[in-house]
Structure 1
Amino acid sequence: MTDYRIASIPGDGIGVDVQIEAQKVLDAAAKRFGFGLEWTEFDWSCERYAKTGTMMPEDGIEQLSGFDSILLGAVGFPGVPDHVSLWGLLIPVRRAFQQYVNLRPVRLLPGTTSVLAGRSADELEMVIVRENSEGEYSTLGGRHNSGQPGEFALQEAVFTRVGVERIIRYAFEVARTRSGRVTSATKSNGIIHTMPFWDEIFGEVAAEYPDVKSELTHIDALAARMVQQPDRLDVVVGSNLFGDILSDLAAAVTGGLGMAPSGNLNPERAYPSMFEAVHGSAPDIAGQGIANPVAQVLAATMMLEHLGETDAAAAVNAAVEKVLSEGVALTPDLGGKATTAQLGTAIAEAI
């Protein structure tokens, strides 16, 4: 029997609530399909920051390096600035473990509705491939002349040939397993250096994939298309910032952030990958037992797929669809009255 060592970081707010259910579901899948999951929980969070001044200990990366995978709840809480929580935990892990692919599949699940009227499930299904290690999310820059009339802030974006080429190539490989269509998000008409660089590399990679249809689309037009003609999109690849924004928009039109998972992947598997729901920590409903755990369960499913347990992942996906279709154990955001635990238990029992 294969045993996997999983680092569990529940984080803050509803991250704690949904993490419990995701682990419950995965344990049920492991029991059915004959593999083991060894969970180790870490209290790295904004609560820890309030007590110690750090989101995680100095040797946090070293502690995580021995695990097969990481399942993250959600991070963020009032009183701790978002840039502190993000750069204190999530981004350091992504970069230390070269998780340069942020993969965000979105689809309209059974029993849920879209804000877009008249759209069917087959029209609302796509994958966002986001560059996850460089781009606009850089520490280069600074604030100058603080408090003076001439105060200014300078933020530098970093686009390397290696970084751009590998994320675009990954998107084309994903497209080959799907419809064979890739759309690249750009803004080369306004951003004069980095975006033309991105476009050039996209064209070079596209030439190597004559079997895949490809197009460049400006980010503003692409956002409009995602709402007006989502059926024209399948695999969308974008820089760190563009991919971040588009994936939230895609989730919003396919049932909401409560249904959207994501994976921070090191495709070479030299380091552990990390999986998380797209939604935040929602402190306003934390601990009330009403948070929707589906996104975290689906993130855990992505983790199973990455570990090679594809049958177990398929079973979890089927269980989620079954429970949502039946409509009995739905949380308030889905129009039901079930608790977080009741929905999680229903999915686990369906496995």
Structure 2
Amino acid sequence: MCAASVLVVDDSVTMRALIKHALRNDPDIIVVGEASNPFEARDKMKELDPDVVTLDVEMPNMNGIEFLEKIMRLRPTPVIMVSNLTAPGAATTLAALEIGAFDCIAKPSARETMFNELPSLIKEAARAKAGMARRRGGPALPRQAESEPVRGRRGHLPDLIAIGSSTGGVEALMQVLAEFPADCPPTVIVQHLPAAFTGSFAARLDRVSRARVSEAKGGEPLLPGHIYLAPGGGRHMVVKPGARPSVALIEGETVSGHRPSVDVLFGSVAKNFSGSTCGVILTGMGRDGAQGLLEMRRQGAATLGQDEESSLVYGMPRVANEIGAVARQLPLARIAKQIFNGS
């Protein structure tokens, strides 16, 4: 991959200089521009088309959260929030992640903090954007009728549901899981989130869903009425085969630019789970999950994809649809209904 191009947006001259200094010694990163406010940043984004934007929250004329909403709606680009207001667990951090920020870090009290963290985040974000431009062809599998509920090989609801999402997935998952019944099939989810936030996000999902939602620890048996969210930043989540299938967390390189990866989870379901399955791919930047969903479909799984109109970023579901991995493409509001009652 070519060097990741970065636009630095902050109203502080000092902070822009610190960010550029933190990045200048990494040969895989090039700062192509800087802006002191969102209006200047908008023009620079059109002119420079950066791979990644670093964005402050507190700025004149328009705050960073408002500008982030406009970026994700009009020109989806990986954004890393760098602000005094985006510490782990802060309300502004959660708001930014819900809108679609790639990650959030607090402005450092010492330069070393930014040296250690920011370059690697930018390269991860750039890989995610690079995935948007790639296409993989292949014979499309036939579409299924949209009038039926998702049914497994034995004519009943699936024995396991697997869901993958990224940018925009926080809100999408909350909407989908709010409609899951208390006795839903065991469900495994990879949502691209920083490690510091998956625990609190799982707790938030648990409050809106009638099923029990928890951050996976590894080793849990796949039980009805339980939803397992992959922890962020470090290990892949897979389905482990056996007389009593379970969730496992494993080491490994990044796949499709991510760890945990939706492709790894879906691929493990296709390979290791002998019951009937349903795979769902929701809004997200890049192509993570497309190949794994195709593997699931080839093994007989029912597969659903979020449609373009309801996706914050129509990247992952678009690629999955293009390669024939998606049997049914639906608005977000119909995903859960299609799984459980076909409406």
Check whether TM > 0.5: no
TM-score (norm 2): 0.30
TM-score (norm 1): 0.30
Ranked by relative contact order (alpha carbons within 8 Å, sequence separation 6 or more), the top structure is 1
The structure richer in helix per residue is 1
